[in-house]
Amino acid sequence: MQIIGNNIIRLHEVDSTNNFAANLVNQTKAPEGTVILAHFQSQGRGQRGTEWQSAIGQNLTFSVVLIPKNLLVEDQFMVSRFIALALCEALEELVGIKAEIKWPNDILMHDRKVAGVLIENMLNGKFVSSSIVGIGVNVNQNDFAGIPRASSLFLESGRSFDTENVLSVILASVDYYYQVWQRKQFARIEQAYLERLYRFNQRGDFRIDGQNHRAIVVGVQQNGRLQLKIETGQILDFDIKEVEFLY
On whether both 115 and 225 belong to a single domain, the answer is no
Query: Which pLDDT score, from 0 to 100, does residue 117 have?
Result: 97
Q: How many domains does the chain have?
A: 2
Residue spans of the chain under pLDDT 50? 47-49
Query: Which pLDDT score, from 0 to 100, does residue 40 have?
Result: 85
On whether both 31 and 125 belong to a single domain, the answer is yes
Four-CA torsion 190, 203, 111, 136, nearest 10 degrees: 40
Residue 228 lies in a domain: yes
What residues pair up with 219 in beta bridges, in sequence order?
227
Query: Which pLDDT score, from 0 to 100, does residue 41 have?
Result: 82
Query: Which pLDDT score, from 0 to 100, does residue 47 have?
Result: 47
On whether both 219 and 237 belong to a single domain, the answer is yes
Nearest to 135 by CA among 120, 147, 145, 149: 120
Task: Read off φ and ψ for residue 240, nearest 5 degrees.
Answer: -60, -30
Pairing mode, strands 100-102 and 203-208: unpaired
Query: Which pLDDT score, from 0 to 100, does residue 207 have?
Result: 97
Domain that holds residue 221: 203-246
Query: Which pLDDT score, from 0 to 100, does residue 48 have?
Result: 46
On whether both 89 and 209 belong to a single domain, the answer is no
Four-CA torsion 145, 150, 155, 156, nearest 10 degrees: 160
What's this model's pTM, rounded to 2 decimal places?
A: 0.93
What per-residue string of b and e applies to 205-232 under the rule 16 or more CB within 10 Å gives b?
ebeeeeeebebbbbbbeeebbbbbbeee
On whether both 15 and 111 belong to a single domain, the answer is yes
Angle between helices 163-182 and 77-95 (to 10 degrees): 140
Four-CA torsion 90, 14, 27, 2, nearest 10 degrees: -20
Pairing mode, strands 106-109 and 112-124: antiparallel
Q: What is the CATH number of the domain that holds 141?
A: 3.30.930.10
Q: What is the CATH number of the domain that holds 218?
A: 2.30.30.100
Mapping DSSP onto H, E and C, the string for the chain reads CCCCCCCEEEEEEECCHHHHHHHHHHCCCCCCCCEEEEEEECCCECHHHCECCCCCCCCEEEEEEECCCCCEHHHCHHHHHHHHHHHHHHHHHHHCCCCEEECCCEEEECCEEEEEEEEEEEEECCEEEEEEEEEEECCCCCCCCCCCCECCHHHHHCCCCCHHHHHHHHHHHHHHHHHHHHCCCHHHHHHHHHHHECCECCEEEEEECCEEEEEEEEEECCCCCEEEECCCCCEEEECCCCEEEEC
On whether both 139 and 240 belong to a single domain, the answer is no
Query: Which pLDDT score, from 0 to 100, does residue 36 have?
Result: 97
On whether both 184 and 227 belong to a single domain, the answer is no
